């Protein structure tokens, strides 16, 4: 929030273990907020044995909104890493069999018109990943049970070790290894938590045996057992149990429909990323789509808690061949900028491979890093605009992302983040002169220029638009 006198505040919590998540109860009559725990099926909200430790309650206070993004308070209130070996924990970009189901091109279940998770289709995505510096490939709809999703069997429908007959998982893994692309597994539970708990050890042993080191979990729908909520004590403990079992089998976790991040990734670094917001999938199937200002609000709300799996990179902005009433409410250049403005160490290249064919703007996605050594907010106003520059970990390249709401913006950006004495080639992916998030979202231009410390960048962002820049040092 922003106070009347220009002070920026964030209220959150850190190190949430064996407790219910905290919300804020608004008392409009007395003009105050009170901490309020998420409840459950019982008369109590938290059941613990003494002695016990509550999560940290945090208030972050800043003069500038970007200071909230740069703060390390939440993660540093957690205990240090507990894992002895972290060599298998690797940030990466990934593509996958996912967006095509949201568009309706294919189905999650084999009983559907066109099953997406076939061996042949998986190899197609692996080929695209291998050709474009994408290290991972996600497959949803690979395991039996999807056809029972909305029936009375939803609570127990999924089997996490049995592929559909048209998906040869061992052949997909072999092919991926040959091409240098790692398979990311998928565990959609349909919120049948007890069913998942019963299979948990077997499911993660199965992944370890196959050499799979990453899984996307999902908890769509009302939690079973009934009366529990995603942010109550029961589920806080469940999510933590999953992460610890995953760590035992050397598997990274990307959780969808998760408990909010409270910095636990410092202690359990295999908890790589989470959804926990209206992600880009909403654009494909919701009539209440994310407005252009959504992505300049999210960095100051959900992203203050931790990494996001937002699934950027949609180039086919108006997907009329699939759903005429839906679209992504950004320009193409803004989709590129999201790889910098939204932090996610598992970062998806979300569109269909055919929508990237021979597309010059794909080069930014090939180049952009996902693991950062430095991050600096250059300008920001909550709900209006945001510009971030980041330096890749273990390298000399920098990347800049600038995004706006429904209003056009012009920024003069002093280049004071680059080191002295080095000249960089800046490749600028900008909105075209006639770009507009709704009227002309795919208009973009690419420009190359040499940049050094002390120069100034002039950015022009279209309504709902953005700019993405890669800086590569010249020898």
Q: 110-143 burial string, b = 16+ CB within 10 Å, else e?
A: beeeebbbbbebbbbbbebbbebebbbbbbbbbb
Beta strand 444-452 pairing with 398-404: unpaired
The rounded distance, in Å, linking the Cα atoms of 287 and 244 is 38
Q: What is the Cα–Cα distance from 64 to 380, expressed in whole angstroms?
A: 8
Tokens for 283? Answer: 């654009």
DSSP designation for 54: P
Tell me which DSSP letter residue 157 carries: -
Strand 398-404 relative to strand 466-473: parallel, antiparallel, unpaired? antiparallel
Q: Is the peptide bond before 51 cis (omega within 30 degrees of 0)?
A: yes
Buried b (16+ CB within 10 A) or exposed e, 63-79: eebbebbebebbbebbe
Annotate 254-293 with three-state secondary structure. Answer: EECCCCCCCCHHHCCCCEEEECCCCCCCHHHHCCCCCCHH
How far apart, in whole angstroms, are the C-alpha atoms of residue 116 and residue 78? 40
406 catalytic? Reply is: no
- Rounded to whole angstroms, the Cα distance separating 283 from 277 reads 13
Phi, psi of 387 (to 5 degrees): -130, 125
Catalytic residue among 100, 155, 188, 281: 281
Q: With CA atoms as reference, report the closest residue to 347 among 55, 112, 195, 136.
A: 136
Helix axes 169-179, 119-131, angle to 10 degrees: 10
Under 8 Å between Cβ of 220 and 275: no
Residues labelled as active-site residues: 281
């Amino acid at each position: 929030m922003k106070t009347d006198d220009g002070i920026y505040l964030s209220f959150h919590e850190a190190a949430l273990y064996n407790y219910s998540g905290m919300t804020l109860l608004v008392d409009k009559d007395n003009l105050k907020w009170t901490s309020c725990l998420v409840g459950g099926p019982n008369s109590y909200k938290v059941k613990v044995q003494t002695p016990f430790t509550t999560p940290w309650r945090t208030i972050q206070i800043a003069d500038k909104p970007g200071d909230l993004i740069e703060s390390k308070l939440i993660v540093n209130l957690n205990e240090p890493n507990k894992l002895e070996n972290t060599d298998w924990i690797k940030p990466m970009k990934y593509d996958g069999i996912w967006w095509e189901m949201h568009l309706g091109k294919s189905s999650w279940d084999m009983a559907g018109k066109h099953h997406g998770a076939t061996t042949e289709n998986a190899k197609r995505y692996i080929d695209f990943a291998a050709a474009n510096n994408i290290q991972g490939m996600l497959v949803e709809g690979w395991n039996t049970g999807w056809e029972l999703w909305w029936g009375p069997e939803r609570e127990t429908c999924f089997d996490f070790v049995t592929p559909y007959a048209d998906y040869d998982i061992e052949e997909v893994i072999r092919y991926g290894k040959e091409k240098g692309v790692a398979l990311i597994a998928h565990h959609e539970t349909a919120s049948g938590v007890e069913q998942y708990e019963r299979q948990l050890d077997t499911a993660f042993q199965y992944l370890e045996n196959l050499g799979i080191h990453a899984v996307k979990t999902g908890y769509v729908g009302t939690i079973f057992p009934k009366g529990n909520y995603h942010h109550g004590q029961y589920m806080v403990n469940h999510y933590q149990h999953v992460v610890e079992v995953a760590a035992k089998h050397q598997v990274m976790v990307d959780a969808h429909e998760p408990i909010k991040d409270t910095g636990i990734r410092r202690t359990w670094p295999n908890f790589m990323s989470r959804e926990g917001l209206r992600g880009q999938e909403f654009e494909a199937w919701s009539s209440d789509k994310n407005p252009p200002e959504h992505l300049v609000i999210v960095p100051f709300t959900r992203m203050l808690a931790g990494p996001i799996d937002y699934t950027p990179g949609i180039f086919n902005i108006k997907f009329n061949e699939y759903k005429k009433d839906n679209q992504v409410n950004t320009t193409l250049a803004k989709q590129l900028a999201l790889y910098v403005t939204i932090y996610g160490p598992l970062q998806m290249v979300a569109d269909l491979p055919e929508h990237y064919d021979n597309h010059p703007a794909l080069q930014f996605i090939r180049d952009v890093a996902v693991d950062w050594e430095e991050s600096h907010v250059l300008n920001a106003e909550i709900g209006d605009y945001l510009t971030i520059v980041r330096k890749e970990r273990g390298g000399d390249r920098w990347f800049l992302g600038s995004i706006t709401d429904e209003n056009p913006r012009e920024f003069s950006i002093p280049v004071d983040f680059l080191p002295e004495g080095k000249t960089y080639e800046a490749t600028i992916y900008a909105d075209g002169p006639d770009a507009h998030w709704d009227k002309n979202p795919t208009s973009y231009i690419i420009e190359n220029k040499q940049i050094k410390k002390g120069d100034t960048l002039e950015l022009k962002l279209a309504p709902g638009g953005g700019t993405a820049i890669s800086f590569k040092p010249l020898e």
